[in-house]
């Protein structure tokens, strides 16, 4: 069964929704991991709203994130980010993509754990670099050696991202393939819960 057929499988969709269990699905990971692209595809397949926290932050501040960083600094941006995330999560369930630093904040991790399921889209350095190197909208990469900066961010953040409840590899394949992997990961939660319920009944 190919990716298109598999992701269109009604049984897979229903299992994925059951695994999500009415919660928000929050995609975390570094810039370039594909959170926006994959999030939109997953939302479309599961017929759930899609929300991008960076877009919501820009709408609230009425300026770009790059301008926010430049004019107010990262601490003010992070404070606004937390307020926006808290609002979004109370309006769910939805598929939510977050900025690369959002999950690093323990306050945000608590908010996410309380009302959603965290999923890390994990990519290697070369994949990330290939995706972000031509973009001029990444304030954290405006350094003399942006690739090394990206590597430093990986080293600092990947141990925190690893606390996410689910991990899916983001790699250089069709976006639909990664979307299918997300659905399968959610469906696996359904199967795990079903198995636990069966074991409890048997006991």
Structural domain total, the chain: 1
> Token pair of 98, please?
């977050």
Is 180 annotated in a binding site? The answer is no
Q: Is residue 57 part of a domain?
A: yes
Q: Is residue 199 part of a domain?
A: no
- pTM metric for this prediction: 0.87
Helices 175-202 and 10-20: angle between axes, nearest 10 degrees: 60
Q: How many CB atoms are located within 10 Å of the residue 134 CB?
A: 6
Is 32 annotated in a binding site? The answer is yes
Is 15 annotated in a binding site? The answer is no
pLDDT for 25 = 98
From the list 19, 20, 25, the residue with the least C-alpha distance to 190 is 19
Is 37 annotated in a binding site? The answer is yes
Is 8 annotated in a binding site? The answer is no
**Contacting residues for 45 by C-beta, under 8 A, at least 6 apart:** 7, 13, 16, 179, 183
Q: Is residue 196 part of a domain?
A: no
Low-confidence stretches of the chain (pLDDT beneath 50): 1-5, 7, 198-199, 202
Is 40 annotated in a binding site? The answer is no
CATH number at residue 77: 3.40.50.300
pLDDT for 2 = 47
Is 157 annotated in a binding site? The answer is yes
Q: Is residue 197 part of a domain?
A: no
Q: Which domain holds residue 181?
A: 31-188
Q: Is residue 127 part of a domain?
A: yes
pLDDT for 5 = 45
pLDDT tens digits for 27-84? 999 999 999 999 999 999 999 999 999 999 999 999 998 899 889 988 999 999 999 9
pLDDT for 145 = 84
CB 15 within 8 A of CB 191: yes
Q: Is residue 121 part of a domain?
A: yes
Is 34 annotated in a binding site? The answer is yes
How are beta strands 24-28 and 116-122 bridged, if at all?
parallel
Is 22 annotated in a binding site? The answer is no
pLDDT for 191 = 79
Q: Is residue 68 part of a domain?
A: yes
Cα distance between residue 157 and residue 83, in whole Å: 21
Q: Is residue 36 part of a domain?
A: yes
């Amino acid at each position: 069964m190919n990716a298109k057929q598999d992701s269109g499988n009604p049984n897979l969709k229903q299992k994925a929704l059951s695994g999500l269990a009415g919660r928000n699905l929050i995609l975390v990971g570094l810039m370039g991991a594909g959170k926006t692209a994959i999030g939109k595809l997953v939302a479309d397949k599961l017929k759930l709203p899609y929300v991008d926290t960076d877009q919501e932050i820009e709408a609230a501040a009425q300026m770009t994130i790059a301008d926010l960083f430049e004019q107010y600094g990262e601490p003010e941006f992070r404070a606004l980010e937390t307020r926006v995330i808290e609002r979004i999560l109370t309006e769910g369930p939805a598929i939510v993509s977050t900025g690369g630093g959002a999950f690093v904040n323990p306050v945000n991790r608590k908010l996410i754990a309380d009302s959603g399921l965290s999923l890390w889209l994990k990519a290697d350095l070369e994949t990330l670099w290939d995706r972000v190197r031509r973009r001029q909208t990444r304030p954290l990469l405006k350094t003399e050696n942006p690739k090394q900066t990206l590597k430093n961010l990986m080293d600092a953040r990947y141990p925190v991202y690893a606390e996410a409840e689910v991990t899916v590899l983001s790699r250089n394949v069709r976006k639909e393939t990664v979307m299918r992997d997300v659905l399968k990961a959610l469906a696996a939660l359904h199967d795990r819960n079903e198995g636990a319920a069966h074991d409890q009944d048997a006991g």
